[in-house]
Homo-oligomer: A and B are copies of this chain.
Amino acid sequence: MHKDRFLGSENLELAREIYSVMSSHPILAPHGHVEPDLLLKNEPFANPVDLLITPDHYITRMLMSQGVTYEELSIPRADGTRSSVEPRAVWKIFANNWRAFRSTPSRIWFQESLETIFDISENFTPERADFIFDQIAEKLSSPEFLPRNLFKKFNIELLATTDSPSDSLAAHSALSKINLGGRVIPTFRPDGVSDPERSDWRASISALATSSGIDCQTFAGLMSALRNRRAFFKSHGATATDHGLASAQTLELSDSEKENLYSRIRKGPISKTDAQIFRAVMTFEHGIMGAEDGLVMQLHPGSCRNYSVEINAKYGRDKGFDIPQEVHYVHELHALLNKVGHNPNFRMVLFTLDESSFSREIAPLAGAFPSVRIGPPWWFLDSLKATQRWRDAVTETAGFYNTVGFIDDTRAFCSIPVRHDVARRFDAGYLAREVAQHQISKSDAIELASDLAYNLSKEFFKL
């Protein structure tokens, strides 16, 4: 890989200097999906496919788009079984479809992982795939490639996981006693409880009642139980909650309205309208709780989950068929922002998959409300060109200081350092271009380097 990759060609000398400042900072990863057990168990990764292909829905969805089936890729089924295709055969399919990834972030992350983690500097090609498979497999068996050693090598200062409200956080407790060279903290993610249309809704509420020891048969009880678990998470180091419903709708109801709604929904059948109202109420209530307990509210709306009924039935959630849809932040957040938007104890980060909201809604909201910050480009938008569009669209209205630094949002452990590195390289180039274009001074850019790479996350997420 070229040493100046993604720094751009305009003002390259300065881009290099900015990048060197950014890369001197350790990684803060305040939102992600790595399992804490991975680090707790610290077992060697099984093989290159289970490390780099199977868990990466960016990769598996692209292969499916080219006609490859999940059976051919031995993707684990919802029932826990999987086809008996050999890892090397899956690897070969991947290699033969490698061209599909040209100009995608997956190509960059994969190629960068090979070089920076496995010291494989050649281009991945169908011809060299077998050789590269062997090289990775060999390394995976060495102690250097155990999860905890990688964690240290990656220079991670903080890693936040994403956890169910009823999680015992036992793994987090155990990890807190182990020297990892950095901290692992939980994040409170109550979607299972917030969305009555999820198949696990009743089970989630039962688990919440059990874990909190609080009866959840009334809405008031449900709120008490959530408050209890939010406090429990906070006591285990959590600084944030995360909410991934289809919309950002918020709604304030009276106590009796809430009890009636909850009672109606618990009895069932659940109408489409009641489900929508309930979700809006839950997002609103978590906002209120956030203003009380200070946990930072992360809002990730606008993904139409499990779009392919067939894939969901056979392989379960998170298998590449969550498709974005429009979100109307301004209307949907009106109730919540008029309740706590000016509350100095409330903090909210808005993410979007809908670029049309960048300049129209997200930036104008974050550029006025002290509680609101703009989340970095999310999911399909976590890529070089989309990040360029994102910075271009939000910065002129909200500046840099209403953003919160980079978030990797990944389940793929080995992609953490490369994702942060690519984002830092992009930002270094961006800042250098801003200097060249007379938008900021050189000293502004140097100060921004540390802010974008480290300080903004540290401060806003209370890390």
Query: Which chain B residue has the least Cβ–Cβ distance from A430?
Result: B103
Are B330 and A307 interface neighbours, CB within 8 A? yes
Binds B, one of A17-25, A32-40, A363-371: A363-371
Most buried by B among A344, A365, A385, A393: A385
0/1 interface trace, chain A 340-354, chain B, CB 8 Å (1 if under) = 011010000000011
Are A65 and B369 interface neighbours, CB within 8 A? yes
From 148 to 200 in chain A, residues with beta carbon under 8 angstroms from any chain B beta carbon are none
Which size bracket describes the interface of A in this complex? 35 or more
Chain B residues within an 8 Å CB radius of A331:
304, 325
A250 within 8 A of B: no
A299 within 8 A of B: no
Are B320 and A324 interface neighbours, CB within 8 A? no
A6 within 8 A of B: yes
Query: Which chain B residue has the least Cβ–Cβ distance from A62?
Result: B367
Are B101 and A399 interface neighbours, CB within 8 A? yes
Chain B residues within an 8 Å CB radius of A359:
355, 380-381, 386
Chain B residues within an 8 Å CB radius of A9:
10, 436
Binds B, one of A214-222, A257-265, A269-277, A438-446: A438-446
A82 within 8 A of B: no
Known: A6-B437, A310-B338, A396-B385. A344 touches B67 (CB 8 A): yes
Are A395 and B356 interface neighbours, CB within 8 A? no
Report A363 CB to chain B, min CB distance, Å. Answer: 7
- The contact of A448 among B102, B325, B354, B369, by CB within 8 Å, is B102
Query: Which chain B residue has the least Cβ–Cβ distance from A66?
Result: B401
Query: Which chain B residue has the least Cβ–Cβ distance from A310?
Result: B342
Report A23 CB to chain B, min CB distance, Å. Answer: 17
Chain B residues within an 8 Å CB radius of A355:
356, 359-360, 393
A309 within 8 A of B: yes
Chain B residues within an 8 Å CB radius of A401:
66, 99-100, 102
A397 within 8 A of B: yes
A118 within 8 A of B: no
What is the bound-complex CA distance between A105 and B342, given in angstroms? 25
Copies in the assembly, this chain = 3
Known: A399-B62, A402-B65. A103 touches B367 (CB 8 A): no
Report A248 CB to chain B, min CB distance, Å. Answer: 13
Most buried by B among A62, A384, A399, A402: A399
A462 within 8 A of B: no
Are B330 and A304 interface neighbours, CB within 8 A? yes
Chain B residues within an 8 Å CB radius of A436:
9
A2 within 8 A of B: yes
Chain B residues within an 8 Å CB radius of A337:
307-308
A398 within 8 A of B: yes
Report A356 CB to chain B, min CB distance, Å. Answer: 4
Known: A2-B438, A356-B356, A392-B389. A399 touches B61 (CB 8 A): no
Chain B residues within an 8 Å CB radius of A5:
438
A41 within 8 A of B: no
Query: Which chain B residue has the least Cβ–Cβ distance from A359?
Result: B355
From 296 to 324 in chain A, residues with beta carbon under 8 angstroms from any chain B beta carbon are 304, 307-311, 320-321, 323-324
Footprint of B on A, CB under 8 Å?
A: 1-2, 5-6, 9-10, 61-62, 64-67, 99-105, 107-108, 123, 304, 307-311, 320-321, 323-326, 328, 330-331, 334, 337-338, 341-342, 344, 353-356, 359-361, 363-370, 372, 380-381, 383-386, 389, 392-393, 395-402, 434, 436-441, 444, 447-448
Return the 6 tightest CB-CB contacts between A and B, nearest first: A383-B396, A356-B356, A5-B438, A61-B368, A103-B439, A385-B392
Sample of 28 A–B contacts (CB below 8 Å): A61-B368, A62-B367, A62-B399, A64-B368, A64-B370, A65-B367, A65-B372, A67-B344, A67-B370, A99-B444, A99-B447, A100-B402, A102-B399, A102-B400, A103-B434, A103-B440, A104-B395, A104-B397, A304-B331, A311-B342, A324-B364, A325-B331, A326-B360, A355-B360, A359-B386, A380-B396, A384-B437, A386-B396
